[in-house]
Amino acid sequence: MPQTNLSDSPGPGTRGGGGIVISARNLTKKFGDVAAVDGISFEVRAGESFGLLGPNGAGKSTTMRMIGGVSRRSSGELAIMGLDPDRYGPEVRAHLGVVPQQDNLDEELRVRDNLIVYGRYFGLPHSYLRPKADELLEFAQLTDKAKSKIDALSGGMKRRLTIARSLINEPRMLLLDEPTTGLDPQARHILWDRLFRLKESGVTLILTTHYMDEAEQLCDRLIVVDKGRIMAEGSPAALIREHSTREVLELRFGSERNASVAAELAGIGERQETLPDRVLIYADDGEAALEQVSARGLRPLTTLVRRSSLEDVFLRLTGRSLID
Ligand SMILES: Nc1ncnc2c1ncn2[C@@H]1O[C@H](COP(=O)(O)OP(=O)(O)OP(=O)(O)O)[C@@H](O)[C@H]1O
Ligand SMILES: [Mg+2]
């Protein structure tokens, strides 16, 4: 399996965290006058699971494509394992496994042959590829589908096959662009389990998502991006600690009343957000906040006390909800 650098102290939740494998400085990508990626800087360490969390159009895929050496940056600096992907595309790609946002499996080929033919692009010999393909099908829980046509696979199976394919060259780093978007909860959990195993084996994961639960599950550290810029950076727990309260009280007064009742809630909790469908009260003790609401004679239709999530962080930072 991939080599890991054990010389440095590991980061939280990582095994063999170590040297810097990706370094971006003022990374920018313009399409015409529009900066899809607008001067972002970040570093990823070996063995780390690093996320880009942001809404549609934030620039996540554009960033991933620059890292993967398939899109040239407009300005700034970028190094993958110390190499500039614009100058050393093939060398960089040899180190990477890439799972693009849209599955691009070869529909003409059967499941197992998708792995073998992809491996041939890297110049890997059949003697290596045959057992490797079988090992990866096992890993992706697709052994019984080895001879199936691609269009006979479910969305989750296609995603697992694309991940299996990305591992054919035993990459030390895996780029995953929205690995579970569009999948049902069960298919997502199977994929998360597979990604956990890769992480445990020391593979560096770089993933984009607009699912906060996925980011919380998989990422040691992440950047929150919006409109091509970094809004915040840190571990999920640290981001929540820094930008939100421990708990959130959600109140629904009915769509007509949420906005008008907000004034009557003034002073309860540390901060409030009024959304079209509910009012959020940020407080370390949600139940205590709810008692204050009741004491004012207010009767919400439904109430919910929950822990703060990355969704709350995003709302705080951008004033918008992460889910469109
Ligand atoms: N080839 C292109 N030509 C012109 N504009 C582009 C191109 N690719 C991306 N963009 C624009 O760049 C911005 C960022 O797009 P990008 O695909 O990186 O976003 P994203 O964060 O991956 O969004 P999503 O969550 O929808 O996948 C968008 O405004 C998009 O329209
Ligand atoms: Mg995208």
Instruction: Kindly give the number of the ligand 1 atom that is closest to the alpha carbon of 54.
Output: 21
Q: Which tokens hold the place of 4? A: 């890991």
3-state SS, 237-281, equals HHHHHHHCCCEEEEEECCCCCHHHHHHHHCCCCCEEEECCCCEEE
| Model confidence pLDDT, tens digit, residues 216-229 | 989 999 999 999 99
The answer to whether the CB of 106 falls within 8 A of the CB of 117 is yes
**Can you tell me the distance from the alpha carbon of 170 to that of 167, in angstroms, rounded to the nearest whole number?**
5
Residue with the nearest Cα to atom 26 of ligand 1? Answer: 56
Residue 302: per-residue pLDDT: 96
Instruction: Kindly give the number of the ligand 1 atom that is closest to the alpha carbon of 225.
Output: 21
| Model confidence pLDDT, tens digit, residues 272-297 | 999 889 999 999 999 999 999 999 99
Q: Give the Å distance between the CA of 71 and the centre of ligand 1.
A: 12
Torsions phi, psi for 254 (to 5 deg)? 95, 145
CATH 3.40.50.300 region(s) of the chain? 20-235
Enumerate residues 6+ apart whose C-beta is below 8 A from 202: 1, 2, 3, 4, 15, 16, 46, 47, 172
**For a pocket test of ligand 1, which of 27, 38, 61, 101 has the largest count of ligand atoms closer than 8 A to its C-beta?**
61
Residue 5: per-residue pLDDT: 37
| Regions in the chain scoring below 50 on pLDDT | 1-17
Any idea which fold 20-235 has? Rossmann fold (3.40.50)
Residue with the nearest Cα to atom 29 of ligand 1? Answer: 57
Instruction: Kindly give the number of the ligand 1 atom that is closest to the alpha carbon of 64.
Output: 18
Instruction: Kindly give the number of the ligand 1 atom that is closest to the alpha carbon of 29.
Output: 12
The answer to whether the CB of 52 falls within 8 A of the CB of 223 is yes
Residue 13: per-residue pLDDT: 40
Q: Which tokens hold the place of 43? A: 């570093």
Q: Give the Å distance between the CA of 324 and the centre of ligand 2.
A: 14
Instruction: Kindly give the number of the ligand 1 atom that is closest to the alpha carbon of 65.
Output: 18
Which amino acids bring their CB within 6 angstroms of ligand 1?
Answer: 31, 36, 54, 56-62, 101, 210
Enumerate residues 6+ apart whose C-beta is below 8 A from 291: none
The CATH number of the domain covering residues in 245-307? 3.30.70
Ligand closest to the CA atom of residue 29: 1
Q: Give the Å distance between the CA of 104 and the centre of ligand 2.
A: 15
**Can you tell me the distance from the alpha carbon of 190 to that of 216, in angstroms, rounded to the nearest whole number?**
16
Enumerate residues 6+ apart whose C-beta is below 8 A from 280: 248, 249, 250, 251, 272, 273, 274, 312, 315
Residue 62: per-residue pLDDT: 97
Enumerate residues 6+ apart whose C-beta is below 8 A from 141: 160, 190
**Can you tell me the distance from the alpha carbon of 223 to that of 219, in angstroms, rounded to the nearest whole number?**
10
- The owner of tokens 């700034």 is 76
Residue 49: per-residue pLDDT: 97
CATH 3.30.70 region(s) of the chain? 245-307
Residue with the nearest Cα to atom 6 of ligand 1? Answer: 31
Residue 23: per-residue pLDDT: 97
| Model confidence pLDDT, tens digit, residues 177-215 | 999 988 888 888 888 998 999 999 999 999 999 888 889
